Amino acid sequence: MKGISHFITGIAVGTFFPDAVQAAAAGSFVLVLGGIGGLLPDTLDFKFARFLEEPDIVIDPHPEQFEAQKIADEIAAGIERVAARKKKLILKCSTMRLGTDWWQQYSLRFDTDKNQVIVKLGPIVNTSQLPLPQSEREDPEGRAQVRVPLMPTYSEFTTVDIFGGPSFALEWRNDRVEIDFLPWHRQFSHSFLMAVLFGVLCGVLFGTTAGWIGGLAVLAHVLEDQLGYLGSNLFAPFTKVRTTGMKLIHAQDAIPNFFTVGTMAMVILFNLDRFSPQPMIDPLFYWGVLWLPLPLLLAYYSYRKGSAEGKQFVPLLAQQEAELVAETQEVVNA
Amino acid sequence: MEYLYLVPYAVVGTLLASTLALVPAMHVYNIAGIFIWLAVSAQKFIGGDALAMLLLGMIVGYAMLNTVSAIFLGAPDDSTVFIVLPGQKYLLMSRGFEAVVLTGIGGLGGILILIVLSPIAAGLFGALRTILFPHLHWILAVIIVYMLMAEWPKGGDRGATRGARLWDAWKGLGAGILTFILSGILGLVLMYKSPIPLEYSFQNLLPAFVGLFAVPWVLENLASSTEIPKQYIPTTIDAPPSMIARGIFSGALGGLFAAFFPVVTGGIGGYLAGHATAQRDDRVFIISQGASKFLYYVGAFWLFFLPTAGITKGGMAGMLATIYAPQGAGLYYTAVALIALCGVLSFFLLLGYARVAVWLVQRVNYRYISLVTLFILCGVVFWFTGVGGIAIMLIATPIGVLPVVWGSRRMNCLGVILVPITLNLAGLGPTVAQWLGIV
C-alpha cells in the first residue's frame, strides 16, 4: 500500500488506547508514534537497506559505449552464471547521470516465454522524466538469448533513468533461474520481530502504552502488506523467503488506498470523540451512513479487478514483481 | 434583496485582487491588511458587511489568479509552491497556458464544492471543531512527521562502499531536515522577536515567504538561463471529465482540510490529498492543486461567515475578526453566491491574463523577466516591511536555496509556520524559544 495508507493506519491504531487519546488531548504527542511505526518498515528499506546491499553484477553503462546489445548480453551472462554456480547473485542496474538535470534512460525486460533479455535505449530525460527532443538513439533495442530456463516474472519493461536504478536477486530454484525484484525490500523490516523490537523500544523510552502503539503500528503495516500479491518475510531473520500475499488488492491501486485512508481517518475521528468527555457522534449514523460509500467503492473495485483477472491471466510471480516495481516508482516520484 | 448592494463591493474586490495577483509576492493579505487598517483609522469609511464582501471578492480573485505569476514568472508563495514544478514543466513543453487553465478549472470545481456543502457546513465543521480542537497540536506534528518521513532518497546509486552509498542517499535527506529545522527556527524568531514594526505585524511572514519560496526559484531561473519555447494556446483542454472530477475531488479534500486546520496551507492539503487518492497524472495534480488552493483561501474565509459555528481561520478572517462579526444566515448565503459570481468572473480574467503572460514570455527574454521579478520581490518586501523585512528575506533566501542545491523538497521550508504554531499549540513555544535564546 502507499505510504500514507500505512501512516494513517498506524495513527488509527494508537487512537484505540483511551489513555493515549486523553493524554493527547492534554498536550501529549504519543499518537505520533503510531504514524512513525506505520511508515517505519518502508523507511528502513528505502532509506537504508537498499544502500547496504552489495551487488555482484553491476550494469554501469558509459555514455560513449552505450549499446543495448552489450547491456542485454551482460545481463544474460549474469543469469547464466547463476545457473552455472547455483548461487544467488545480485544484479544492479545503475542510472546514468549526464549533467545536473539530465539522465540517460534505458529499460529492460525479462521475456520468460522466449527466454530473452530485452534492453531498450531511451532518450535523454531531465529529472522530471521529460525527454530531450531528438535524443533517441539509433539501434535502440538489444536482445540476448538466455541459455537457461527462467521462471515467469514481471513481463513489462522496467525503466532505469533518474536517481537510483533497480536491483534484482537472481537465484537458482527448481531448475530454473528466478528473477526477484528489489530483494532488499519487505524482509526483516516487514517481520513480526520488527514490530516487537519497535514496540519494546517505544515502551522503554515512553512507557507501556507508547510501546503498544509503536509495535501495533508496525504490525498493522506488515499485515496490510499481506493484502496484495506479495507478502513479506514475516518470520525474518528465521526464514529467508517473502510470502505470497492474499491477492485481494493491487497495493498501489487508487481505490484500496483511498478506502484505507478514508476509513482510518473516520476511525481516528470516531475514537477521538468516543474517548472525549462528551461524545457526540452517533455510531449507527456514522458507520451505517457516512462510511457506506467507502465499502461500496471497494466492492466496485473488487468486481472490476475480478473481471479483469478473468479476462487475462497473469502469473503470480509477475504480479508480485509488478507490485514491487510500482512501489519503487512511488518512491521515485514522491 | 437586502444584500444586493454588496455585489459591487465584491466585484471591485475581485478586480483589484486580479491585478495584485499578477505582481509576484504581492499577497492579497498585504493589501487586505492595509484596507482594514484604513477602515479602522477612518472610522469605518465603509460598513462592516461591505468591507467583508470587498475582502471576499479580493480573496476569490487572488485565489484564482495567483497561479499566473507562479507558473509564468516562477515566483510562488507558500500555497502555490506545489504548482510551480508541474507548471514550469508544462511551460517548457509549450503548454503554460494549459497549466494555468487547469488550475482555473480546479478553482471552478472548488466553487461547486462550496455551494454543495453550504447547507450542511455549519453542523459539519462545528462538530469537527469541537472534536478536533484539543488535538490540533499532535495532528500538526503528525503532518510534520509525514512530510519528513515521506521524503525518499534521490541518490545512493553510486559509491564503492555501503557508507559511500548511504552518504550519497542521505545528503539530500539531511539537507531537507536541515531546511525544516532552520526555517522552523526562523519562524520562532519571527514569532517572538520579529524586527518588523508592530503596525505592520500582519505582514510578519511576507519577507520570510518571499525569501524561502519566491527568491530561490527566481534565482534558479536566472542561473539556469531557462529559455521558454513558443507557447501554444489550445481551444480545448486535454483532460477528460473523469480526470477533472478526480482532480477536483482530491483538491477538495486537501483544500477543505487546509481551510479548516490552522497552519496547513493549500499546498500541504493538496499534497496530502494527492497521496491519499493515489494521483499519478500531472493534469490531475494541477487541477487538484488549483481546487485545493482555491478552497484553502476562499474556504477559510467562507467558514468565517458560517452561522453559529464561529470559525476564524486564515489571515483574512483573522484580520477582519478584529473589527467585524458577520450576522445571520442571509449574509452567509449572500457570501456563497458572491463567491460563485466572483469565482466565475476571476476564471474569465484568468484566461485573459494567461494570454498576456504567454505574450510576455514569448517576447521578452526570460532572464530579464526573472530579473525584473527579483526587483519587484525586493521592492514589495521593502515597501511593506522596511529594512527589517529585507534582512529577514536575506536570511530566509539561503534556507530556501538549500533544497534547490541539494535536490530535497522545497516544502520543508514550511517549517517556518508549522514549527512555531505546533509548539505553541502544545504549550511548548515559549520554552523552546527560551532554549534558543530568543526570549
Indicate the residue of B138, B146, B151 with minimum beta-carbon distance to A29: B138
**Cβ contacts of B325 within 8 Å, gap of 6 or more:** none
Chain B residues within 8 A of A254 when measuring between CB atoms: 277-279
Distance, CA of B185 to CA of B419 (rounded, Å): 8
**By mean pLDDT, which of A221-225, B132-136, B168-172 is the weakest?**
B168-172
C-alpha cell at B214: 519566491
Q: Are A40 and A74 in contact (CB under 8 A)?
A: no
**Residue A39 burial (CB count, 10 A):** 24
- Average predicted confidence (pLDDT) for chain B: 87
Query: Per-residue DSSP letters for A110-129?
Result: EETTTTEEEEEEEEEEETT-
Cell numbers at A127, concatenated:
529529472
> DSSP string of B133-165?
GGGHHHHHHHHHHHHHHTPPPS--S--SSHHHH
**Contacts of residue B409, Cβ cutoff 8 Å, sequence gap at least 6:** B147, B151, B176, B403
- Looking at the partner chain, which of B141, B272, B279 has a beta carbon nearest the beta carbon of A32? B141
pLDDT per position as a tens digit, B50-81 = 889 988 999 999 999 988 888 888 777 777 77
Residue B201 pLDDT level (bands cut at 50, 70, 90):
low
Q: Flag if B132 and A3 touch (Cβ within 8 Å).
A: no
pTM exceeding the 0.80 threshold for the entire prediction: yes
Decide if B138 and A24 are in contact by the 8 Å CB cutoff: yes
Checking if the pLDDT of B122 tops 90, the result is no
The CB density around residue B137, as the number of other CB atoms within 10 Å, is 23
In tens, the pLDDT along B377-427 reads 899 899 888 899 999 999 999 999 999 888 888 889 999 989 999 999 889
Interface A:B, Cβ pairs < 8 A: 121
**B249 vs A325: which has the higher pLDDT:** B249
Facing residues of A125 across strands?
A: A103, A131
What is d(CA B402, CA B407) in angstroms, rounded to the nearest whole number?
8
Contact between B155 and A163 using a beta-carbon 8 Å cutoff: yes
Q: Which pLDDT belongs to residue B40?
A: 66
Q: Which of B403, B431, B430, B427 is nearest to B415 (CA)?
A: B403
Residue A180, SS3? Answer: strand
- Let me know how many helices (H) and strands (E) chain A has, helices first: 11, 9
Q: Say whether A11 and B142 touch across the interface (CB within 8 A).
A: yes
Cα atoms found within 13 Å of the Cα of residue B425, Cβ hemisphere only: 23
Of residues B399, B72, B420, B428, the one with CA closest to residue B210: B399
What residues pair up with A169 in beta bridges, in sequence order? A90, A180
**B275 or A3: which leads in pLDDT:** A3
Stretches where chain A sits below pLDDT 50 are none
Distance between alpha carbon A281 and the CA centroid of its chain, in Å? 36
**CB B99, CB B87: distance < 8 Å:** yes
Cβ within 8 Å, pair A4-B146: yes
Longest distance between any two alpha carbons in chain A, whole Å: 72
Which residues in B354-366 are b (16+ Cβ under 10 Å) and which e? beebbeebeeeeb
pLDDT at residue A310, as a whole number:
81
pLDDT of residue B435: 93
CA–CA separation, A90 vs A99, rounded Å?
Answer: 28
Q: What confidence tens digit (pLDDT) does each residue in A82-108 have?
A: 999 988 899 988 888 887 678 889 999
Q: How far is CA B41 from CA A254, B93, B323, in A?
A: 53, 50, 11
Q: Strands A167-173, A158-160: parallel, antiparallel or unpaired by DSSP? A: unpaired
Q: Is the peptide bond before A237 cis (omega within 30 degrees of 0)?
A: yes
> By C-alpha distance, which of B417, B421, B418 is closest to B208?
B417
Arithmetic mean of pLDDT, B285-293: 92
User: What is the tally of helices (H) and strands (E) in chain B?
Assistant: 20, 0
